[in-house]
A and B are shown apart, each in its own frame.
Chain A
Amino acid sequence: MISKKHIPLAATLAVFALLYAAASVSFEGFFSVRVFTNLLNDNAFLGLAAIGMTFVILSGGIDLSVGAMIGFTSIFIATMIQRYHVNPIVAIVAALAIGSLLGASMGCLIAWFKLPPFLATLAGMFFARGMGLIISMESIPIKSGFFKAIETFGYNFYPVTTIVFLAVVLIALYVAHFTKFGRGVYAVGGSEDSAMLMGLPVSRIKIMVYTLSGFCSALAGIVYTIYTTSGNATAGTTLEMDAIAAVVIGGTLLTGGVGYVAGTVVGILILGTIQTMITFEGTLSSWWTRIAIGGLLLLFIFLQRFIQTRAQGATRK
């Protein structure tokens, strides 16, 4: 028998299995290594952003800046490499540093000045998107040997974007469940006052969470740049909402304190499967993806609601 707190995760897994099975039965060639590999490859950048988002939501906050951060990173790297001929590795490291710094600044505003996370990261979103568009409005294709090498490596061996995503998933699982920081994040999300009274460094944990999310979204931007081999300042528009949807579908409560990194990964796979199914179907248009995601969100929120009320009923008795 699975314990109560694993029910949302189990439900997410069941939905994914059902969806994938249904798709495999309906479409010839859906159940193949190639489709599954593409599923991971096409959604790696969304997945990376969603993993950072998972930590933020677990701590009881929200980060609206991730989509804009992807756009900024993408155009930043492309401009550095193409216009200023900076070494790609230097550009990538610089982008990660900027992402972490922006995340840390938002974290400071939230932790020190008690700004609502929604507002602080909304300002961060406008800032990052604006900065990206100021760098360049037009998309810039990247013609660098380094990026070519990454692409060839992907063709011959395995896509780098997927490797990065899977590595980050493993690290995130470890951080969330086996470190002091991870337990701190759950504690702060569960009850900030209790965490404070327990002597946890609440402010520091919050700042670290947003720094982590900034780092993850910058990494997502890098993966996006590798995936498209070009920089585009409008990349990741409204992606923050997809990331939040993946986290919620993955069974994490938006009130904080409850949820799993693994759930988010399955959430990403569900979104990806829907997208792939609509591509396979051919006659369905892209907007059905949005409607399906909305429907799934609704389903999972009701499911969580149902489990919560039952759990409360049990404790009252």
Chain B
Amino acid sequence: MMARIKSSKLIWPLLALIVLLALNGFFTPGFFHIEIKSGRFYGHIIDIMNQAAPVMLLSLGMTLVIATGGVDLSVGAVMAISGAVMALLTGKSGVFMPAGLLLTLILCVIAGTWNGLLVSAFDIQPIVATLILMVAGRGIAQLLTQGQILTFHDSSFAFIGSGSFAGLPFSVTVVLVWLAVTAVLSRATAIGMFVESIGDNTKASRYAGISVNTVKLFVYAFSGLCAGMAGLLVASGVNAADSNNAGLYYELDAILAVIVGGTAMSGGRFSLIGSMIGALIIQTLTTSIRAQNVPVEFALVVKAIVALAVFLLQSDAFNKMFAGRKAGV
């Protein structure tokens, strides 16, 4: 039992989250306090879940991409595009809301497929391939909104980002449903195994008959879809599309969440739950620092230190250095 717990990769991120929450409970009075107002829960914990939702969505797609040994830098820019397109369709042109959602998401899948094509068919390094859309994508989003913040209101669209379901913010439901979909998609089918196999050894996977290019195309398209959903969530939360700032630096948070959650940057084994915990750790850090009357900017420094600690714990060279001393091997 102990050995199983120790060997589980989830134990470190989970422990980190628990310690963080405990520290918060200690230093911030009423941290765990949850109020019920008009059938809805309110409290720090609920806020954390709500604010972590966009990064959680992103990290679901990012987990699969990183597990194939790639990375998707464009998700932040795709978020901006997604918000801008929705604002233009439903906000400006009055397109029926569900149709607007669908069209926006299809566009984001196309954006992701573009990344996937560059990575698979043209065999371009993922960092470079997705850098193109990262740079150009934000420009395209700014072009769509003419560099302005487009405000729009559609009550059914606003519900996605600020409504509540079963007492919790609706965004939590979105994340849970999407987590379930991703889990079924990757674990109930062979896709998850293909993804891990490609991340471990692309050449061997190809020889084993896995259609490497198709799988890669799929994970980048899926990541585009996740980014589109995250962009819609953010836009609906503020009833506006801000092409300049929406999703800025979110790609880095999503990558951090995935790595903190125990998926290696080099690819291979992945953990969706781990990434969810990773996203929660990052948001808890930010929220708890805000609760402490210290400048918000301090969060960045703490984020850097926590991230480094987790990276080092996962580094073989680092572990060997210390395990070697303890066990005398």
| A residues with CB within 8 A of B | 62, 109, 112-116, 118-120, 122-127, 129-131, 133-134, 137, 238, 241-242, 244-245, 248, 254-255, 285-291, 293-295, 297-298, 301-302, 305
Contacts and interface: CB of A to CB of B under 8 A. Distances in A.
Nearest to B134: A241
A131 B298 CA distance: 8
Interface residue tally on B, bucketed by range: 35 or more
B37 to A, nearest CB: 34
A252 B302 CA distance: 34
Nearest to B300: A130
Contacts of A287: 138-140, 142-143, 147
Contact of A127 (B127, B140, B255, B305): B305
Interface SS of A by simple majority: helix
Given A291-B140, A291-B143, A293-B135, A113 B318 contact: yes
Nearest to A255: B125
Interface stretch (B23-31, B93-101, B171-179, B308-316): B308-316
Given A116-B265, A122-B252, A126-B307, A133 B143 contact: no
Contacts of A242: 135
Contact of B128 (A118, A123, A248): A248
B323 to A, nearest CB: 14
B131 interface: yes
Contacts of B125: 254-255
11 contacts: A123-B305, A126-B304, A127-B300, A130-B302, A130-B303, A131-B301, A285-B146, A287-B147, A290-B135, A290-B142, A301-B118
B123 interface: yes
A114 to B, nearest CB: 5
Contact of B295 (A109, A115, A133, A302): A133
Given A116-B266, A126-B301, A287-B142, A241 B131 contact: yes
A297 B308 contact: no
A125 B299 CA distance: 13
A288 B139 contact: yes
Contacts of A125: 252, 304
Contact of B315 (A114, A241, A254): A114
Given A126-B303, A245-B135, A297-B131, 10 more contacts: A113-B317, A119-B311, A120-B308, A125-B252, A241-B134, A290-B136, A291-B143, A293-B139, A294-B135, A297-B128
B195 interface: no
B252 to A, nearest CB: 6
